[in-house]
Structure 1
Amino acid sequence: FPIGDTTVTWTVTDTAGNTATCTQIVTVEDNEAPVFVEKLPSDATYECSFVPDATILTATDNCSDVEVVFKEVRTDGTCSSDYILERIWEVTDENGLTTSHTQIITITDKTAPSLVSNLETELDVNCTEIPEVPTLEFEDNCSSNVTVIYNETSTYDDNQISNYEIVRTWTVIDECTNEAVFVQKLNVQIDNEVVQINDRVCTDNGTINMDVYLNNNESGSNWVLESGNVTLEGNTFDPENVELGIYTFSYTTSSNGCLTTTEVILEVHDECVVLPCGRKDVIISKVITPNGDMQNEFFTVEGIETCGFVVDIKIFNRWGAKIYENSNYKNDWNGTAHSSSVGNAEKIPTGTYYYIINLINSGMKPFAKGFYVGTK
């Protein structure tokens, strides 16, 4: 009988055609709801990178064929990879009896992005060979877009030159604020490139601007005297009143932690000075009066004091007798004669005498001329 009330009538007839009837009402009720066949899935939490497919459920009913209806409702959370799935399976028989099952799946993102590229985490480098910042690739298990924040710090100090560290940091954040940090440390060795310049300057060259020895890109430092007794005025050096000799100056600049030192070695000389060393510059006494009045007391050869010549002198009387000779004369003869030349007199007599002077190392011909001696 179908579900509901069914009227059943029985009719009986005898041979004479007489009939009798009986009526029965049969009521069929369905009080049993459909039943799921498979094991029902329970609530669960999954990482966003693994969301299981919905379980396929079937059902049976004691009275009719039934079909399971499935639906899924998503409720988003605070980020794209955090959400809740509500999965509902429902089956209804022909009598309207319903059985349902609900599964709550919580999807979450707890995994930070990862590094795909190769990264050397620590390197020992020279300051001239600091590598470029590498281009890194990152991936995330759930987010298609990640935020990369790059930062670089250095312990380099212009005021205290020494080996230093560069720390490169990549902070990578996915859409659910999961964060990963990747670090590269560079141990930088200081290098000092020394450029040496040798030059010669004369004492009368005038003030020298030391910056002429620098490249165009060198600035921001100060010249330092490394050797020699002289005072620098900023970047200027005046060779006029300093001792002849070697002076060393240095200028050090830094770029990206590397040092460049320009070392200038200057030889200060006086070869450019025009000395009064010609024949016309030689001044020889014409008269000497060695009488104690301190005027014209000595026979002198002057005007060649700075020339480096050696004076070789011979003095003769008018008869040609040599009365004085000195191969390294120092302007100190005052009319004294050799004891064998003029009797025993200490001073030579008044009169005219003659000299022959040879200036050794001068390249000049000897000087020969007369001069007057007055001893009274």
Structure 2
Amino acid sequence: VITRTWSLTDACDNTTSFVQTITVVDTTAPTFTSTLPGDIDVECDEIPDAEELLAIDNCGDANVTFVEVIDNGACVGDYIITRTWTATDACDNSTVHTQIITVQDSTPPALVTPFDENVTAACDDIPEVPNLVFEDACSTDIEVTFEEVTTQANDFEDYEIIRTWTVVDDCGNEAIFTQNVSVEISNVINTFDSSFCILDTEFDLFDLLSGDFNMNGIWSVVSGDATINGSMFDPSTVEVGIYTFMYSITEGSCPTEVEVNVTIDDDCVVLACGQDNVVISKTVTANGDNYNEFFTITGVEDCGFIIELQIFNRWGAKIFESSNYQNNWNGNSNNSSVGSSDKVPTGTYYYVINLRNSGLEPFAGPIYVATDK
């Protein structure tokens, strides 16, 4: 309260007074002089520090107080921050400013440890699964799920290993990290096909392989009527032909398999194919007793010759001819020189035999034929 008094006095000390009373009342609140922060939406790692606000009052000093309240949401990274600044003067007049900060976790966890996303490795040098470390800006509650799948269809072809880490934070934000390992089958086995004679002795199938491989696998017969004893094969136990064998390594991290072809021939066999080995019938008695029924040429069956045969009667007329004779002539005639009968008359006839591709001179001689004609 302000009291103002005015007094008037004359020369004789007569006095008159006037009093004014002023009552001062403070009803005006302070005013903030700082820029007031507005409402915002932020990630949990982007929350700004609380600002220090200043205020003035028209009647004196203003005191600014600050209060922060957090209301939790559905997950650790979602919540609301309410910040309140109150400016109060000496007469308890106050001004309030409130800032609402909505915190939302929409960022998935991040990888801390580096790793190679694409790796090429030999089958015996596949890298271990890396120990990955993850972090989240809003939560330490991180769920990590690891899965490893392979495209391996068999033991003998290159394949892929796909390693996947699925990382989820408390608010359900998900991140996926993948490593692809390209696995190369490194067992290199070189094979070479070979030929052996049917008279050769037993040999080791490993002699047909070369390269960097172990010998703990299994040999098997793929085609051909053959038997093996481990890796040992005896050509003398089979027929002439081509035989296929497989060597398989199925144990360990580098399985593989290869095939090798072995040709068995009879080139080493010396056949009796000379002129002295040819045996020619002397007599044909086509009477059904199964003895000397046919004119036969034997002794060179395994020589690969083609027999060309001509039969003539004593007058030089050709009564039979074959360009690929099969030991089947029993006195029949394919020539009209013997009349209407299909058999030649009993008598002496003459043959001419040519062994095609033999290099031998033709054979010629008599043959007695008895046909009851």
Q: TM-score, normalised by structure 2?
A: 0.52
1:75 is displaced (CA, Å) by 1.4
Q: Deviations over 1:331-369 (max 9, x none)?
A: xxxxxxxxxxxxxxxxxxxxxxxxxxxxxxxxxxxxxxx
Check 1:102–1:255 CA distance in 2 against 1; reply closer, same or farther (3 A cut).
Answer: farther
Please report how far the alpha carbon of residue 157 of structure 1 lies from its aligned counterpart in structure 2 after TM superposition: 2.2
Distance 2:144 2:190 in 1: 43
Query: Partners in 2 of 1:45 and 1:90 — Cα distance?
Result: 23
Q: Once the two structures are superposed, what CA deviation does each residue of 1:82-104 show, in whole Å capped at 9, x if it has no partner?
A: 22211111012233321111111
> What do the CA deviations read for 1:49-105 (whole angstroms, capped 9, x no partner)?
232211111111111222111111111222223222111110122333211111112
What residue in structure 2 maps to residue 104 of structure 1? Answer: 100
The 2-side partners of 1:171 and 1:254 are apart by: 33
- C-alpha distance in structure 2 between counterparts of 1:95 and 1:141, whole Å: 45
Superposition map of 1:81-230 within 5 A? 81-158=77-154, 161-192=156-187, 224-226=220-222, 228-230=224-226
Q: Give the Cα separation in 1 of the matches to 2:15 and 2:107.
A: 87
Over 3 Å counting, the alpha-carbon distance change for 1:94 and 1:193 in structure 2 is same
Equivalent residue, structure 1, for 2:57: 61
The yes-or-no answer on 1:48 pairing with 2:44 is: yes
Residues 223 and 249, structure 1, Cα contact 8 Å, conserved in 2: yes
Q: Which residue of 2 aligns with 1:367?
A: none
In structure 2, do the counterparts of structure 1 residues 262 and 187 end up closer, same or farther at CA, with 3 Å as the change threshold?
A: closer
Q: How is 1:1-376 mapped onto 2 (pairs within 5 angstroms)?
A: 1=1, 24-158=20-154, 161-192=156-187, 224-226=220-222, 228-230=224-226, 242-243=237-238, 250=246, 252-255=248-251, 258-260=254-256
Q: Secondary structure at the match of 2:47?
A: coil
- Count of aligned positions: 241
For 1:256 and 1:52, locate their aligned partners in 2 and report how far apart those are by CA, in whole Å.
58
Distance 1:243 1:46 in 2: 85
Change (3 A) 1:243 1:39: closer
1:84 is paired with a residue whose SS is strand
Q: Does the CA-based 8 Å contact 2:156-2:256 persist in structure 1?
A: no
Give the deviation of 1:7 after TM superposition: 6.0
Q: Is the 8 A contact 2:156 2:257 kept in 1?
A: no
What one-letter code is carried by the residue in structure 1 that aligns with 2:124?
Answer: T
In structure 1, distance between residues paired with 2:36 and 2:50: 11
CA distance in 1, matches of 2:64, 2:113: 49
8 Å contact 1:195–1:260 — kept in the other structure?
no
Equivalent residue letter for 2:92: G
Query: Which digits, 9 at most, give the CA deviation of each residue in 1:211-235, with x for residues without a partner?
Result: xxx95xx7xxx86314652379xx9
3-state DSSP of counterpart to 2:124: helix
User: Whole-Å Cα distance in 2 between the matches of residues 242 and 200 of structure 1?
Assistant: 9
Q: What are the superposed Cα offsets for residues 180-222 of structure 1, whole Å, 9 maximum, x if unpaired?
A: 21111122223446699xx959xxxxxxxxxxxx95xx7xxx8
Structure 1: distance between partners of 2:20 and 2:70: 54
Tell me, in whole angstroms, the C-alpha distance in 2 between the residues paired with 1:92 and 1:117: 52
How many Å separate the matches in 1 of 2:159 and 2:180?
A: 11
**Contact 1:194/1:263 (CA < 8 Å) preserved in 2?**
no
Q: Specify every segment of 5 or more residues in structure 1 that has no aligned partner in the other structure, as ranges.
A: 202-213, 266-376
Decide whether the 8 Å contact of 1:36 with 1:57 is kept in 2.
yes
Matched residue SS, 2:46: coil
Aligned residue identity for 2:44:
C
Q: Does the aligned pair in 1 maintain the 2:110–2:175 contact within 8 Å?
A: yes
> What is the one-letter code of the residue matched to 2:150?
S
Contact 1:156 1:162 in 2 (8 A): yes
Once residues 12 and 131 of structure 2 are traced to their aligned partners in structure 1, the CA distance between those partners, rounded to angstroms, is 112
Deviations 1:271-328 (A, max 9, x none): xxxxxxxxxxxxxxxxxxxxxxxxxxxxxxxxxxxxxxxxxxxxxxxxxxxxxxxxxx
**Residue 16 of structure 1: CA displacement?**
8.0
Unaligned runs of 5+ in 2: 192-200, 204-214, 262-373
Q: Deviations over 1:148-200 (max 9, x none)?
A: 22111101124x8532211111222233332221111122223446699xx95
User: Conserved in 2, the CA contact under 8 Å of 1:44 and 1:105?
Assistant: yes
Q: Map Cα deviations across residues 111-153 of structure 1 (whole Å, 9 max, x no partner).
A: 2222233322222322222222122233333434533221111
Q: CA deviation at 1:38?
A: 1.2
Q: CA 1:256–1:171 in 2, change beyond 3 Å: closer, same or farther?
A: farther
